[in-house]
């Protein structure tokens, strides 16, 4: 039977991404930062926000069982946060939220979920480059399969210009 009143944020480890103390008041507090992000009209934030839950490694805690839908819901930021025009109202939030997006997307990849896409031209160049570099890690099995597929695409050609199969 499920116990009520359990705080999942205390059971699952999370890590701080942005040092809020470096921001100006009221953004320097967790509550102030969350309320400023909510003021952007982005909707519901994950329970761990602005921290990132470390649920990509399923072996962190054997006593916590989560289905994949719940894990993904904890790693899903509102789509509006992925649009650079959202931060025109409060440009001070763009930098910290860029770091949070990168951390959430990295954790999504580790958990086996697809990466979201950013929209708009207002992102920093450094963020764009780092975001594009986020790709799933390829293991030895996947790399051998992809190299086999590459070899099949490069079939030898006969002198008449047709590919030989």
Residue 100 confidence (pLDDT) above 70: yes
Split at pLDDT 50, 70, 90, the class of 1 is very low
Output the DSSP codes for 91-150: GGGHHHHHHHHHHHHHHHHHTTPPPP--BSS-S-HHHHHHHHH--PPP-HHHHHHHHHHH
Residue 150 confidence (pLDDT) above 80: no
3-state class of 53 per DSSP? strand
Residue 89 gets the label, from left (phi > 0), alpha (psi -120 to 50) or beta, of alpha
Q: What is the mean pLDDT of residues 11-37?
A: 91
Share of the chain above pLDDT 90, in %: 52
Q: 57, 51, 65: which is closest to 11 by C-alpha?
A: 65
Q: Would you state the pLDDT for residue 147?
A: 63
* pLDDT tens-place string over residues 57-91: 655 556 667 788 988 999 999 999 999 999 998 99
> In whole angstroms, what is the distance from residue 26 CA to residue 6 CA?
29
Q: What is the mean pLDDT of residues 142-163?
A: 61
- Residue 49's CB is within 10 A of a number of other CB atoms, namely 23
Here the tokens at position 1 are 């039977």
Share of the chain above pLDDT 70, in %: 75
pTM, to two decimals: 0.78
Query: What rounded mean pLDDT belongs to the chain?
Result: 83
* pLDDT tens-place string over residues 104-148: 999 999 888 899 999 999 999 999 999 999 988 766 666 666 666
Residues in contact with 103: Cβ distance below 8 Å, sequence separation at least 6, in sequence order: 15, 17, 52
Q: Which carries the bigger pLDDT value, residue 6 or residue 30?
A: 30
CA angle 150, 152, 156 (to 5 degrees): 110
Query: Domain residue spans in the chain?
Result: 8-136
């Amino acid at each position: 039977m499920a116990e009520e009143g359990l705080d999942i944020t205390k059971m699952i480890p999370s890590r701080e991404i942005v040092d809020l103390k470096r921001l100006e008041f009221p953004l320097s507090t967790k509550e102030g930062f969350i309320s400023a992000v909510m003021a952007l009209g982005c909707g519901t934030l994950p329970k761990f926000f602005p921290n990132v839950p470390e649920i990509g490694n399923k072996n962190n805690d054997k006593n916590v069982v989560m289905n994949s839908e719940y894990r993904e819901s904890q790693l899903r930021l509102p789509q509006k946060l992925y649009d650079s025009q959202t931060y025109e109202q409060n440009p001070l939030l763009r930098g910290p939220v860029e770091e949070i997006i990168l951390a959430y997307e990295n954790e999504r990849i580790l958990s086996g979920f697809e990466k979201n896409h950013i929209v708009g031209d207002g992102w920093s160049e450094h963020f764009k480059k780092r975001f594009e570099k986020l790709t799933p890690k390829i293991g030895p099995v996947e790399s051998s399969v992809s190299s086999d597929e590459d070899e099949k695409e490069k079939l030898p050609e006969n002198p008449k210009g047709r590919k030989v199969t």
